Amino acid sequence: MTLRSSSGMHRPSPLLLAVTGLTVLFLLGPILLSVMAGLVNNYRVGLKSGLTLKWVAQVWANYGGTVWLSLQLALLCVLAVILLGVPCAYALARSRSRLARLFEELLTLPVAVPGMASALALLLAYGSLQGFRQSFWFILVGHIVFTLPFMVRTTTAALQKRSLVDLEEAARSLGASFTQIFFGILLPAILPAIVAASLMVFTLSLGEFNLTWMLHTPLTRTLPVGLADSYASMRIEVGSAYTLIFMLVILPVLWGLQTLARLLERHNEP
């Protein structure tokens, strides 16, 4: 339900605005309460106990290393799935083979299968390689397996647009090489889709728990694993302070990638 203003613009009705506001409050309310719990001296007393940053300092002292490890893991995961996923997406978008369609469906299995099951499969396949099993790279492989379908699906849809296919065929008929077509035409056109998929991959990698919990070691503990440990072994103020740090880490990156995606979309508009 919308209302038309005097300028001809459609304005949402008060009812829709109210429903939207309540939905936002429903989603953000628990998060805000959790953040506040990490900034008070005593959660049970509330704001009356006074504000403090001692819980944040305690979390940073005990778990600060997990922040940098998780950021490195998420950024490397994004880079890896771009390098692997974009060529794979192009092959799937241009292939008419039934095997390509079957591969595209199989690619979604890591998303459909529980993370612990995927982790168990990786342990069975590579667990005997002790140096690799205990390293940061083992978790990275797990994150790549889990997030690659999101990159491939998103960029495949972008590459399958009829206008882009026609443009590619026209460039090929004029004698352009594959390198010129891919890097000069296709890549700039699908860059907004790549950025949008990268945003998804980054957030999934940074917040992934089930798979990471199965694959991590005491030396490769990530943010979500540390968060679970803090909730299980310490008071709620510490766990809530950890949530605050998690949000401070992820929100600037999310806003930056979203802004970049919007700028690229505007740049590609005719």
Tens of pLDDT, residue by residue over 86-129, are 999 998 888 888 887 777 777 777 777 878 888 888 888 887 88
Q: Specify if 6 maps to a domain.
A: no
Eight-class DSSP state of 113:
S
Q: Check which CATH number belongs to the domain holding 264 and give it.
A: 1.10.3720.10
CB 142 within 8 A of CB 211: yes
Range with lowest mean pLDDT among 6-20, 177-191, 194-208, 237-251: 6-20
Phi-psi region of 176 (alpha: psi -120 to 50; beta: other; left: phi over 0): beta
18-32, 40-54, 130-144, 253-267: range with lowest mean pLDDT: 253-267
What is the spatial distance between Cα 220 and Cα 63, in angstroms, rounded to a whole number? 12
pLDDT of 9 higher than 60: no
Of the candidates 253, 230, 249, the one whose C-alpha atom is nearest the C-alpha of residue 38 is: 230
Domain count, the chain: 1
Give the pLDDT of residue 208.
86
If you average pLDDT over residues 214-238, what whole number do you get? 78
In a domain, 24, yes or no: no
Name the residue type at position 178: F
**Selected residue with higher pLDDT from 71 and 12:** 71
Query: Locate tokens 């998420």: which residue?
Result: 74
Distances in Å between the alpha carbon of 234 and those of 74, 89, 237?
27, 45, 8
Tokens of 151: 């990159």
Over the stretch 167-177, which tens digit does the pLDDT of each residue have? 888 988 888 88
Least Cα distance to 160 among 86, 87, 90, 84 occurs for: 90
Q: How many CB atoms lie within 10 A of CB 70?
A: 25
User: For residues 215 and 233, what is the distance between their CA atoms, to the nearest angstrom?
Assistant: 20
Summary mean pLDDT of the chain? 82
pLDDT in tens, 129-158: 878 888 889 999 999 999 999 999 999 989
DSSP symbol at 161: -
Query: What is the per-residue pLDDT for 45?
Result: 76
Task: Write out the residue range of the structural domain in which residue 129 sits.
Answer: 66-268
Q: Give me the phi and psi of 121, to 5 degrees please.
A: -60, -40
Give the pLDDT score at 240: 82
CA–CA separation, 240 and 149 (whole Å): 32
- Residue 54, in any domain of the structure: no
- pTM score of the predicted model: 0.79
Q: Residue 39: its pLDDT value, please?
A: 83
Percentage of the chain lying above the pLDDT 90 cut: 13
Which residue, among 4, 189, 12, has the nearest Cα to 90 in the 3D structure?
A: 189
